């Protein structure tokens, strides 16, 4: 019976669905995390009677035909790029993007990576870095004698020095956007990598058309809705149970056939 293998594909699909949902829930408090959604497609169909075929010599056409599906498969796991809420931290080096865009950071091997998690710090040389020590591009160095750091919405970095009235500009942050954000490759640690699917990065200062603004002293929270995720989890669980019941029913039908005398 095809129902056995068909239901098995349904169980595998719902297993992946639960894994995606569990990852969303696990990252409920991860800074700037974007929830994922699993998408599925039906598999090939076995054609028993082709739709549109002639049923008689007079040219009568079969209106619907007979096609039996053989299951489901995962088509992809998409990143939902809706804006997360902004949480006030009052830390001058915490930055949130209000709108579109990613911060640019440089890995130790020189590769340019992207993130929306703006929980930045200073290293031993006063450079602005991520918690993992990756330098924030285009490279911002805060003087050791600075008593205050101000970053405006357009990404201009200013410091106040002891004994000076006017602040001093020490750098300019920029943002990157992509034609297809969902195509960015997730690396973990809140980092993303450009891929062929994402298209090339476009870099500009915050506030430029199509680019978001920077909010100092804020962090973007995860866009995971726990109520929605729990609802999705229950739905996936019920779908898994239904597919397992199909396997049980198919086995009982096969057993009945085998018991015929």
Share of the chain above pLDDT 70, in %: 99
Query: Mean pLDDT, to the nearest integer, of 70-77?
Result: 90
Say if residues 120 and 93 touch (Cβ distance below 8 Å). yes
Kindly state the tokens that stand for 211. 């680019």
How many Cβ atoms from other residues are within 10 Å of residue 220's Cβ?
24
Tokens of 182: 């969902």
237 by DSSP, 3-state: which? helix
Joined together, the tokens standing for residue 227 give 């109520």
* Residue 147 clears pLDDT 90, i.e. is over it: no
Residue 55's pLDDT is what?
67
Q: What are the φ/ψ torsions at residue 130 (nearest 5 degrees)?
A: -80, 170
Residue 241 tokens read as 């149970």
> What average pLDDT does the structure give for the chain?
91
| 59-71 confidence digits (pLDDT tens) | 777 777 787 888 9
Query: Comparing 134 with 58, which gets the higher pLDDT?
Result: 134
Q: Please report, for the chain, the start and end positions of each structural domain, with discontinuous segments joined by +.
A: 2-79+224-258, 86-220
* Tens of pLDDT, residues 214-225: 999 999 999 999
pLDDT of residue 70: 87
Considering only residues 245 and 56, tell me which one the structure prediction assigns the higher pLDDT. 245
Structure tokens at 139: 């490279």
Q: Does the structure show a pLDDT above 90 at 46?
A: no
Rounded to the nearest 10 degrees, how much is the dihedral formed by the CA atoms of 230, 235, 239, 242? 100
pLDDT over 80 at 182, yes or no: yes
Burial of 116 (0-12, 13-18, 19+ CB in 10 A): buried
pLDDT attached to residue 43: 86
Q: Could you report the per-residue pLDDT of 89-118, keeping only the tens digit for each? A: 989 999 999 999 999 999 999 999 999 999
- The pLDDT score that the predictor gives to residue 87 is 94
CA atoms within 13 A on the CB side of 260: 6
């Amino acid at each position: 019976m095809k129902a056995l293998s068909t239901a098995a594909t349904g169980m595998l699909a719902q297993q992946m669905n639960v894994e995606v949902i569990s990852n969303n829930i696990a990252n409920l408090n991860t800074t700037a995390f974007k929830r994922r959604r699993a998408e599925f497609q039906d598999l090939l169909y076995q054609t028993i009677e082709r739709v549109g075929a002639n049923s008689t010599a007079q040219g009568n056409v079969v209106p619907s035909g007979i096609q039996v599906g053989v299951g489901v498969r995962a088509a992809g796991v998409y990143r939902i790029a809706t804006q997360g809420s902004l949480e006030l931290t009052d830390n001058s080096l915490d930055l949130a993007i209000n709108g579109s865009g990613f911060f640019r950071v440089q890995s130790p091997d020189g590769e340019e990576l992207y993130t929306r998690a703006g929980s930045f710090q200073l290293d031993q040389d006063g450079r602005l870095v991520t918690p993992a020590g990756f330098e924030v591009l285009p490279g911002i160095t805060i003087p050791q004698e600075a008593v205050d750091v101000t970053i405006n919405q357009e990404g201009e970095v200013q410091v106040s020095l002891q004994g000076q009235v006017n602040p001093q500009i020490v750098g300019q942050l920029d943002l990157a956007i992509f034609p297809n954000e969902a195509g960015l490759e997730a690396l973990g640690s809140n980092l993303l990598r450009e891929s062929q699917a994402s298209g090339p990065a476009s870099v500009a200062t915050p506030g430029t058309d199509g680019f978001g603004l920077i909010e100092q002293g804020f962090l973007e929270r995860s866009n995971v809705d726990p109520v929605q995720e729990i609802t999705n989890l229950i739905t996936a669980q019920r779908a898994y149970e239904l597919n397992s019941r199909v396997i049980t029913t198919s086995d009982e039908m096969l057993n009945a056939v085998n018991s015929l005398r």
